[in-house]
Amino acid sequence: MRRTKIKAMALGLLLAVSAVAAPIVTAQAYNPTGGVLYQLPAGTPCLKGLGNCVVYPKMAQVPGGRLVAAFEKATMVDYPAPDTIGGAVGQTMPIWKSDDFGTSWQHLTEVPPPAELSSDPAVDKYTSNWGSPYLYVLPQDIGNLKAGTLLLASLVTGEDEYYRERKAADPSWVPSNDGDRRDLAIALYSSTDEGVSWDFLNIIAKGGWQGGSAGATGTNVAQANTTRQVDPVWEPHLMVRNNRLVAFYSDENDYLGYNTTTGVPIIDPANDTAPDSHAQILAHKTWDGTSAAWSAPVVDVAGDTFSWNGGQQIGGGRPGMTTIAPTTDGRWLLTFEYWGGGSNVRYKVANDPMRFFADGDPNGLDIGQLPVDTGSRRLSTGGSPVIMTLPDGRIIYNAAGSGSIWMNDGSSTGTWTEYQTTVGAGYSRPLQYVEGTGRVAILSGTWGGATTTPVIRFGEVDLGHSNGAYQQIVNRKTGQVIGTGNNTNDANLGNGDVPDVRLEAAGSAGNPATQLWHVTAKPNNTVTLLNKSGGRAAGIWTGNATAGQRIGQWVDNSASGLWTVVPASDGYVRFRSTANTNLYLTGATAAGPLTLESSLTDGSQEWRLDQEPTPVVRIRNVNSNLCADVWNSSTANQAAVRQGTCHTGTNQQWTVEPVGSSYRLVNVNSGKCLEIPAFSKTPGTAAVQYTCNGGTNQLWTRTGEPGRTLTFRNVNSGQCLDVPNFSTASGTALTQFTCNGGANQRWLVG
């Protein structure tokens, strides 16, 4: 329903150029500059410094397509009379939604603290659902939790006793930094209705007092904190591994060391009574989805060892904010903050994400040591690093110190390329691949400053290989196509600060994607031209819309990259600059640069949009390494489609053909389409072939590109093409099943 609505809205922007010249325009709306998701109303009292009051946004996409976001909002909760001091008790976690793939956001609900959702007296002390949220969609069943369930891990607490004490003494007192909450813990919640309602599940990990950590360590300690402890747990990160849910987190409890075989940390017996070391480690726990308790913690990053209270402690340097991504070469990348000197962002690489403690440098390596592409700056630092693997295997990264995103080919040793975005630098800046557009949504939180306006901003970025049809743009005068000289990113980063959009002989590029473009609808009947290789826009390089200016690749962020499509003749069109309607996109010379010129009649300003050629491919399952096969080479309707040993026969050859923003999979032998019969929405329904008819049960949205791992989601049912039960047997029928990201739902196409 949502996809249909968005498609219709975007199609309303299509340009009625002429009956014979209508370029194929990307169907999904694109809002790279975004806007404000939430801004704290003026005068709202905070439980910490104003600039730190609204931070740590996170987001996830549920199977129906909705994006769900959560963030920390540390605002005072008003008590009923006669208690008018206010405090943390009753604080809730705000949940927001986007039903248009991140183009706009609306408030959805608030998640209460455990004390309000559970009758278990053991959680009565958790009266505030405070911060450090992490949202995660289960890719498979875990115990009693079903695939597709939306999980929220967040920091829950008791009262902020420092705030209460100061307010009681001076009602006009205004906090300038973190307070001192009691009974800190990480709670787990679940939602089965796309974030509308939530159940409290359990407590993942427990800490003690906040103690002003980390922004005001050792100063904002409440008198009620008689042992003056600073031992919170926070910053969770969820994933599934070995059929268990894994929660990574930061832990400020004091530890003497850890078992080098199991990784289990050794708690300091004086953790609750002796002066606090202010140290922190990274750890994880696992849960089977049925038992009452989580496993013992396991160290991921121990931090430096240092002397404290006559003994040794781990946790020096305060490693924090775990994020983890799998690589295409079978390894795992861990990024984290580290405040122990040098770069404040580090990384580790391990063969097993459950044993980071045993692999590589104990405290990781400087993120700035990772190799970068020519022209790209070193990976950003500044704290709050985020790393994630896209469905096609590429890995993306950002941190607080830059508005750019870095991307590599997916390997643990790959070179990183910088891509600019329109969302500026900000502390806690999560990234989310958006199935339905193939772009990446970005949120950004503010941090610091007594007068900073607390705000959560949103936007998105196209990093190439996104959803929709791509086209070659052919010049009438020269017969050549628009390319980029094999450059994939912003020309100021990857091409020596030289405008790089030019004419090239079709097929001459080492990277064929650099000669393919999205013609993407924008407001007011304009379009932008986005390159397939990196999602960069072809725009006026200097930004000055005057004759003779050259065209270069740039982040899609201004009128200099907007064009109006004007009909020419014989199916050709012209691209008129929106910034100066007297000037047109011009290719005057073969192998020459594209420029902006006044109107000409020599064909140099006339362009034909040719759809990207459809290759013949095999569709191979990542789990089984077997190929999609029309069994027995049948040409009959409703013939079974199974997985079989890969070969060169035409019954295993397919074309993946764009139909609007979706695709149909056509078997070369039979000429018929892969479909889910009778428009079934039942999980487990077997796929068949049938005469192509345009029905939504024959249309699929795909994540990724040929040659990379991808998934196929049926437009009618919303379920994914699946090999049931991870079968590796030849002859197993392909089915549809709830999308879960498993290897049995990922395919290599090529």
* CA dist., res. 473 & res. 23, Å (int): 10
Q: Which residues on neighbouring strands pair with residue 736, listed in sequence order?
A: 721
Other C-beta atoms within 10 Å of 635: how many?
14
pLDDT in the model for residue 292? 84
What phi-psi label fits residue 576: left (phi over 0), alpha (psi between -120 and 50 degrees) or beta? beta
Which are the contacts of 480, defined by CB distance < 8 A and separation ≥ 6?
Answer: 474, 503, 504, 505, 506, 587, 590, 591
25-26 vs 517-522, strand pairing mode: parallel
* CA dist., res. 25 & res. 643, Å (int): 35
* CA dist., res. 70 & res. 50, Å (int): 19
* CA dist., res. 554 & res. 745, Å (int): 35
Asked if 271 contacts 231 with a C-beta cutoff of 8 angstroms, the reply is: yes
pLDDT in the model for residue 366? 95
pLDDT in the model for residue 357? 95
Q: Which among 328, 329, 346 has a CA at the least distance from the CA of 337?
A: 346
- In the chain, the amino acid numbered 152 is L
* CA dist., res. 691 & res. 27, Å (int): 26
Q: What is the pTM of this model?
A: 0.84
pLDDT digits 0-9 by tens, 681-708: 999 999 999 999 999 999 998 775 444 5
For residue 499, give both structure tokens.
């405008």
- In the chain, the amino acid numbered 26 is T
Instruction: Give CA separation, 499 vs 373, 485, 585, 616, in Å.
Output: 18, 10, 14, 35
pLDDT in the model for residue 704? 54
Spans in the chain with pLDDT lower than 70? 1-29, 78-85, 214-218, 448-452, 704-708
- Radius of gyration for the alpha carbons in the chain, expressed in angstroms and rounded: 27
Element (H, E) at 116: helix 114-117
* CA dist., res. 208 & res. 158, Å (int): 10
Q: Which among 307, 282, 254 has a CA at the least distance from the CA of 362?
A: 282
pLDDT in the model for residue 359? 86
Strand ordering across the sheet containing 417-419: 386-389, 395-398, 405-408, 417-419
Which are the contacts of 254, defined by CB distance < 8 A and separation ≥ 6?
Answer: 231, 267, 268, 270, 271, 274, 276, 277, 279, 308, 313, 315
Burial class for 8, CB neighbours closer than 10 Å (0-12, 13-18, 19+): exposed
DSSP 502: E
Instruction: Give CA separation, 502 vs 218, 539, 559, in Å.
Output: 60, 12, 20
